[in-house]
């Protein structure tokens, strides 16, 4: 018997998760429902087998797992209207920054089952990195089911509920930081008459290879840096400028600011 999974909100991330379910073959075990204020989004989802509805109460009633795939600023409005329809049988999944299990329980049931999730946009390509936290009384089986959904679109990691704001900078927001870093290399290439296409090809492959070295080589970050840095060579000269600019300190400030905003959005 299929498990019904519903999405309140069909924005970029919610839609990516639905496509991930379909593309991974999990749709043989899962029936997907979705609601959104944008009817065009719902029509496109119907084309991949999603049951689209404008009736959020119906979606909640039909689905055991309900994804709150909406912006943090919309939670009060949505849960003030629909929170009363959740029961002890539901598993409520939030993918929004700053939203806490305590807040969701305050808007639904004091003993609601909640899973907090911080995905990232590479999920769109099946290369996601998703952090998940189980909130009691959600069961291990229910939590595992949600983990399987995100595991179908990349890597997953379990973190404690009280670190779900801090993790945002590491995987949720970090793609944007990496893109900005990449822009510096590509802009430099163009400034010395190397085509953007060539720069993208070489830099992206370098980025992928470097990530695999970090993940799989067994060397520490410092050891990996040293392996590329011949004495008196070009790499060390470039690193000197990054050290002068306190790159790691700037990254730390970036992550701290990102986390502070998560606490400001916290509910």
Could you tell me the CATH number of the domain that includes residue 28?
A: 3.40.50.720
Give the CATH number, domain containing residue 212.
1.10.3730.10
In contact, 133 and 168? CB cutoff 8 Å: no
pLDDT band at residue 267 using 50, 70 and 90 as cut-offs: confident
In contact, 52 and 31? CB cutoff 8 Å: no
The answer to whether residue 167 is domain-embedded is: no
What's the pLDDT tens digit per position in 201-218? Answer: 999 999 999 999 999 999
22 and 150 fall within a common domain: yes
Q: What percent of the chain has pLDDT over 90?
A: 91
pLDDT band at residue 228 using 50, 70 and 90 as cut-offs: very high
Q: What is the pLDDT of residue 1?
A: 85
The answer to whether residue 31 is domain-embedded is: yes
The answer to whether residue 68 is domain-embedded is: yes
139 and 221 fall within a common domain: no
Of 137, 162, 187, which residue constitutes the final position of a domain?
162
193 and 91 fall within a common domain: no
Domain count, the chain: 2
119 and 242 fall within a common domain: no
What's the pLDDT tens digit per position in 17-59? Answer: 999 899 888 888 999 999 999 888 999 999 999 999 999 999 9
141 and 245 fall within a common domain: no
177 and 153 fall within a common domain: no
Of 162, 185, 206, which residue constitutes the final position of a domain?
162
Q: What is the pLDDT of residue 23?
A: 87
């Amino acid at each position: 018997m299929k498990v019904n999974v519903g999405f309140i909100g069909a924005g970029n991330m919610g839609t990516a998760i639905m496509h991930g379910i379909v593309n991974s073959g999990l749709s043989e075990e899962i029936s997907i429902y979705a609601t959104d204020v944008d009817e065009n989004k719902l029509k496109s989802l119907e084309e991949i087998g999603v049951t689209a509805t404008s009736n959020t109460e119906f979606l909640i009633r039909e689905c055991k797992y309900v994804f709150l795939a909406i912006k943090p600023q919309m939670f009060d409005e949505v849960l003030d209207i629909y929170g009363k329809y959740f029961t002890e049988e539901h598993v409520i999944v939030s993918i929004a920054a700053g939203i806490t299990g305590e807040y969701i329980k305050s808007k639904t049931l004091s003993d609601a089952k909640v899973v907090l999730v911080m995905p990232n946009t590479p999920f769109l390509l099946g290369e996601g990195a998703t952090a998940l936290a189980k909130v009691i009384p959600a069961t291990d089986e229910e939590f595992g089911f949600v983990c399987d959904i995100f595991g179908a679109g990349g890597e997953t990691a379990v973190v404690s509920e009280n670190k779900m704001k801090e993790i945002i900078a590491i995987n949720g927001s970090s793609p944007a930081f990496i893109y900005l870093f990449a822009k510096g290399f590509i802009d430099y290439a163009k400034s010395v008459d190397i085509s953007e296409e060539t720069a993208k090809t070489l830099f992206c492959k370098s980025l992928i290879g470097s990530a695999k070295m970090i993940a799989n080589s067994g060397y520490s970050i410092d050891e990996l840096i040293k392996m590329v840095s011949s004495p008196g060579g070009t790499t060390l000269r470039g690193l000197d400028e990054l050290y002068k600019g306190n790159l790691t300190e700037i990254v730390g400030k970036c992550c701290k600011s990102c986390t502070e905003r998560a606490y400001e959005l916290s509910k």
